[in-house]
Amino acid sequence: MQEQSIGGPQGAAGQASVLEAELTAFLARYAEAYNRQDYQALLALWDRDDPDAFYMAEEIDPPMHGWKLIDAYFARPGVLDGIRNEYTDVRASYLAPDLAMATYRLRFDIKVRNMKPLSGFDRVVAVFRRKGGEWKLARYAEAPQAPITMVRKLGKDSKSLTPEQLKELLRTIQRLQEESVPPDFDAWLRAQPSAQKSGD
């Protein structure tokens, strides 16, 4: 994994580097709680006074708004044999004196009970609020890349697919995306001003 680097000049860039260092330290504590599946400790790192908190996990649709759904998401004892999350590449900026937004990378290894271990990666955007001198999570959203991009990256580490098999898998994903285009899209494209100009 790429190490998080903290540093930079003073001023706005210096403030960003300090903020990024603080949030990197926060995410180290968050990962430590997550990886030992101590969800009570993990949820204590959230701003529990925020009634509008949400959690958008890549595997669940729609996003989970409010504490009832967020608490239920983490109230699943015995589902996992183990999980290892790593958070890196933190980039952050202030939205207000005690409010910050960050993007970072999530790398995970996970073993669901009665299944083989899985590994993957994600991009994350999150909002943090400082309360009592400590940062707390307030909003969290995983932002996966397009399926074909993710499969291409995962294929680089494949121990079972040949290059030709990987190409066929990518072609299959592309076909699935092509077949998902709604029937009215061609007519919509033809009606766009850019399409009319190219036809002149």
Question: How confident is the model over 11-33, as pLDDT tens digits?
Answer: 456 777 999 999 999 999 999 99
End-to-end C-alpha distance for the chain, whole angstroms: 51
Percent of the chain with pLDDT over 70: 90
Domain 12-144: CATH architecture, name and number where available? Roll (3.10)
With 70 as the cut, is the pLDDT of residue 57 above it? yes
Strands 54-56 and 134-142: parallel
Q: What is the pLDDT of residue 15?
A: 76
Question: How confident is the model over 176-197, as pLDDT tens digits?
Answer: 999 999 999 999 999 999 866 6
Question: How confident is the model over 70-114, as pLDDT tens digits?
Answer: 999 999 878 899 999 999 999 999 999 999 999 999 999 999 999
Exposed, middle or buried: residue 126 (CB in 10 Å: 0-12, 13-18, 19+)?
A: buried
Mean pLDDT estimate for the chain: 90
Domain boundaries, the chain: 12-144, 148-193
The order of strands in the sheet holding 134-142 is 64-65, 54-56, 134-142, 118-131, 99-112, 80-96
Question: How many Cβ atoms sit within 10 Å of the Cβ of residue 21?
Answer: 16
Q: What is the pLDDT of residue 199?
A: 60
DSSP for 19-61?
A: HHHHHHHHHHHHHHHHHTT-HHHHHTTB-TT-TT-EEE-TTSS
| Contacts for 150 with CB less than 8 Å, ≥ 6 apart | 120, 121, 144
